[in-house]
Amino acid sequence: MLYDETKECAIIDPGCVEKDEENQLVEFIEGAGLAVKTLINTHCHIDHILGNAFVKRKYNVLLSIHPLEVPVLKAVKSYASNYGFFQYQDSSPDAFLNEGDSVSIGNQVLHALFVPGHSPGHIALYHPESKTLIGGDVLFENSIGRTDLPGGNFETLIESIHQKFFTLPDDVTVYCGHGSETSIGFEKRTNPFCAVSQ
Domain spans, the chain: 2-190
The 10 Å Cβ neighbour count of residue 196 is 11
pLDDT tens digits, residue range 135-171?
999 999 999 999 999 999 999 999 999 999 999 999 9
**Mean pLDDT, residues 184-188:** 98
Contacts of 52 (CB under 8 A, 6+ apart): 14, 39, 41, 63, 89, 91
**Mean pLDDT, residues 106-130:** 98
Helix, coil or strand: residue 81: helix
Contacts of 167 (CB under 8 A, 6+ apart): none
| Options 3.40.50.300, 3.40.50.2300, 3.60.15.10, 2.30.38.10; CATH of 2-190 | 3.60.15.10
102-105 β-sheet, strand order: 102-105, 108-114, 123-127, 132-136, 173-176, 182-183
pLDDT tens digits, residue range 21-69?
999 999 999 999 999 999 999 999 999 999 999 999 999 999 999 999 9
